[in-house]
Amino acid sequence: MNICEKCKVDLGIENIDLMRNGMRTTCPYLYVLPKKAELLHNNFVKSMELRKWNFILVSGDNGDGKSVYVKNLENIADKIGYPIVHIEIKDDQISQYGPGPYFTLQVYNNLRLPDGELLRWKILENVEIRKKINSTIKNDLASFEFWNPALTSALLHATDDSNESLKKMSLSWLNGEPKYLTDLRDMEIYDKTMKSLLNVPTDRVLFLLKDLLNKLGYKGLIVSIDEIERVADLNRPKSIPTLSVLRDIINILTSHDSMPTARGITEGLFVVYAISTFFLGYSGVIERTGVDFAAQADKYSRPKITLMDVPRLGTVLKNSASQIDVSFESLEDLKSLSERVIACYKQSIEKSITVSFEELANKSFNETNKFLARSNVMAMIKTLDNL
């Protein structure tokens, strides 16, 4: 049975509308992995299944499907049983909060558990989870305080239903709302610089939450960060610190003497960075035969910084990451894509399909004259609409 036959018609219609307008679909079955990317992808998935650790760099041009691939990878991780933190770079919010506070808030707010619910939502609404988190932290207080005493105290009070005043104050602190010194003392936070969650270094939040997830019995944690090229739109006082935070996040995996490695919490940790091919090439992280990335700057707008402006990040991306290029490059890729598109269209629209997936792939390529996934999907839907 074709998997689309199990799909609700209204969901299929929704995805057809998304494809028609060149937008990201919500159905994981519609994603097609390019042939050239299969080996690296399968190796990454295997490492998740074996609960090892890994770091992958996703590249591609606009419209190649980087974000769709990241979502597909998260869907696989979710089925295996991994909590996920998904972050899309928002340059306006980085300007508002500052790089460190922005990522810290994103990590805490976006941590989604395998049942689909956010950790912060469970802390608010689920009594059993609060009790479990509270007892887990109390039973290994020294380990959690090692990562950050302020966050440890806030989590303890936020999950303690016996003192509503402290609980409310701690939840406010976790929301990033600054507290007065008297409030901090009541919360047993004695570092006056830790006025709210926003003051906790991002890597420390990540380490503590990963440790907590381990002790709660989860497989690990997937951290994916998309649209990293948008950092290049920030001015240097914001962009350089942003790249430094990105380096700190992967330091847990790439540094043999990092404290998380020494304390054994790297198992089950996976980091996924998605960056446009142009920004990677312009930064000197990747090279393409016959491609002058500097000459493309007028087309894409010239970046204000490069990844190599933070050498520790640029070097690790160049040398330590498995680089997976998700761009299509053959008619075989388009044929696989057209097969999924036809299945979705046929299930959702009461209309006979008289074109084969080979014909649909050829028609879309002849119309677009390129293998770009987004353009070809739109062309395929247009052809099917006109049948």
Q: The CATH number of the domain where 40 resides is what?
A: 3.40.50.300
Q: Which residues contact 241 (CB under 8 A, 6 or more apart)?
A: 98, 99, 100
In a domain, 208, yes or no: no
Please give the average per-residue pLDDT across 246-263, as a whole number. Answer: 72
Residues 222 and 110 in one domain: yes
In a domain, 213, yes or no: no
pLDDT higher than 90, residue 184: yes
In a domain, 298, yes or no: yes
Edge-to-edge strand list for the sheet holding 221-226: 111-112, 84-88, 221-226, 269-276, 54-60, 322-325
Using the 3D structure, point to which of 325, 341, 358 is the last residue of a domain: 325
Place of tokens 């204000």: 304
Using the 3D structure, point to which of 281, 301, 325 is the last residue of a domain: 325
Q: How far apart are CA 30 and CA 339, in angstroms?
A: 9
* Exposed e or buried b per residue across 160-176, where buried means at least 16 C-beta atoms within 10 angstroms of its C-beta: beeeeebbebbbbbbeb
**β strands within 13-118, DSSP E:** 54-60, 84-88, 111-112
Please give the average per-residue pLDDT across 226-244, as a whole number. Answer: 93
Residues 188 and 226 in one domain: no
Domain holding 339, by residue range, is: 1-34+331-387
Residues 315 and 338 in one domain: no
Top-confidence residue, 256 or 347: 347
Are the C-beta atoms of 187 and 247 separated by less than 8 Å?
Answer: no
In a domain, 320, yes or no: yes
Q: How far apart are CA 216 and CA 91, in angstroms?
A: 34
Using the 3D structure, point to which of 171, 199, 227 is the last residue of a domain: 199
Residues 177 and 127 in one domain: yes
Residues 230 and 90 in one domain: yes
Residues 226 and 321 in one domain: yes
Residues 147 and 5 in one domain: no
Residues 109 and 253 in one domain: yes
**pLDDT tens digits, 290-302:** 778 887 877 777 8
The predicted structure's pLDDT at residue 260: 63
Cα–Cα nearest to 42, from 267, 322, 297: 322
What's the Cα-to-Cα distance from 15 to each of 8, 19, 23, 27, rounded to whole Å?
11, 6, 9, 7
What's the Cα-to-Cα distance from 376 to each of 242, 256, 324, rounded to whole Å?
34, 44, 21
Residues 105 and 235 in one domain: yes
Lowest mean pLDDT of 1-10, 60-69, 180-189, name the range.
1-10
Residues 123 and 110 in one domain: no
Three-class secondary structure of residue 178 per DSSP: coil
Are the C-beta atoms of 120 and 130 separated by less than 8 Å?
Answer: no
Place of tokens 């340059």: 91
Lowest mean pLDDT of 2-11, 130-139, 199-208, 214-223, name the range.
2-11
What is the token pair recorded at 193? 């610089």
The total domain count for the chain is: 3
**pLDDT tens digits, 50-98:** 999 899 999 998 889 999 999 999 999 999 999 999 999 998 999 999 9
Top-confidence residue, 101 or 349: 101
The predicted structure's pLDDT at residue 1: 41
In a domain, 212, yes or no: no
What is the token pair recorded at 195? 């006025």
In a domain, 211, yes or no: no
Residues 297 and 353 in one domain: no
The predicted structure's pLDDT at residue 322: 85
Does the global pTM surpass 0.85?
yes
The per-type count for the chain, helices as H runs and strands as E runs, is: 20, 6
pLDDT higher than 50, residue 207: yes
Residues 25 and 80 in one domain: no
Cα–Cα nearest to 313, from 240, 234, 204: 240
In a domain, 185, yes or no: yes
In a domain, 12, yes or no: yes
To 10 degrees, the CA torsion angle through 169, 94, 114, 13? 120
